[in-house]
Amino acid sequence: MRVEILFLAAFLACAVEMLEALTIVLAVGLTRGWRSTLVGVGAALLALAAVVASLGPALTVLPLNALRLVVGGLLLAFGLQWLRKAILRAGGFLSLRDESAAYAREREQALQAAPERRAGVDWYSFTLSFKGVFLEGLEVAFIVISFGADGRHGVVTAAAAAAAALVIVAVTGVLARAPLSRVPENTLKFAVGLLLTSFGTFWGAEGAGVSWPGGDVAILGILAFLLLVSVGSVSLLRRQPGPARTGGATAGGS
């Protein structure tokens, strides 16, 4: 059960980050050509593979409890950020992320940027696609590596989930040749925030020396508890006039 939830958490988190990277790559590739854009994507993927290959095995040699304490703390801080933004979005206090609007913005900028060729590569396309894939991918790499807190199989499970998400998002994007705006991205972010916060709570407490009642099953209890609290928070926020419902909010990041 724990492996399945871990896979689901890594898959959803990676899919969300890859959706955002896909929007940038599609906007640049369709506007300025694919060669330099794909060179940028390839370079970013190589850099990310190097980060995971060097840090992943290094983390697995650390004492498991110390690793869980540190990773649990990081996942908690990171997951709570996602959850907080997702609740504010669902409650109408932040505007929802719109991939179509993001795509239109990136496309407009790509059209207006002057051509700058170095070594046969359009530098604008290369830089933008490299930055988009590398920065979104770093978040994926962080999640994959941090799931090493579940032992060596944790990294393997998370890496498999990330690979599956990459293939599905990339293939769908290539087939659609448009941003995947119909994917319920904000709902996915809500789920990812809940899952990351649940794992952060579980591992952080275990790393601090706590034994959970029920062992691994406690993850489901934490998840259900946080779901109730989050849904309650959204419901409370919706009862108040929020700026996103009155047109005053700005879109946030992940």
Q: Which stretch binds other proteins (CB under 8 A): 8-16, 32-40, 178-186, 245-253?
A: 245-253
Give the CB-side neighbour count of residue 137, counting CA atoms within 13 A: 25
Q: Which stretch binds other proteins (CB under 8 A): 42-50, 74-82, 101-109, 164-172?
A: 74-82
69 binds other proteins (CB under 8 A): yes
88 binds other proteins (CB under 8 A): yes
Q: Centre a 10 Å sphere on the Cβ of residue 79 and count the other Cβ atoms it contains.
A: 24
DSSP state of 95: B
77 binds other proteins (CB under 8 A): yes
- CA angle, corner 129, sides to 125 and 132, nearest 5? 145
Q: Centre a 10 Å sphere on the Cβ of residue 148 and count the other Cβ atoms it contains.
A: 25
The three-class DSSP label of residue 122 is strand
Instruction: Considering only residues 188 through 207, tell me which ones interact with other proteins, judged by CB under 8 A.
Output: 197, 201, 204-205, 207
**Residue 50, token pair as written in the block:** 């190097």
73 binds other proteins (CB under 8 A): yes
Interface pick for other proteins out of 93, 121, 137, 196 (rule CB under 8 A): 93
Interface pick for other proteins out of 53, 174, 210, 251 (rule CB under 8 A): 210
Say how far apart CA 34 and CA 32 lie, in whole Å.
Answer: 7
Interface pick for other proteins out of 87, 145, 149, 195 (rule CB under 8 A): 87
Q: CB-based burial of residue 235 (10 Å sphere; 0-12 exposed, 13-18 middle, 19+ buried)?
A: exposed
Give the interface with other proteins as residue ranges (CB under 8 A). Answer: 69, 72-74, 76-78, 80-81, 83-84, 87-88, 93, 135, 138-139, 142, 197, 201, 204-205, 207-213, 218, 222, 225-226, 229-230, 233, 237, 240, 242-243, 248-249, 253
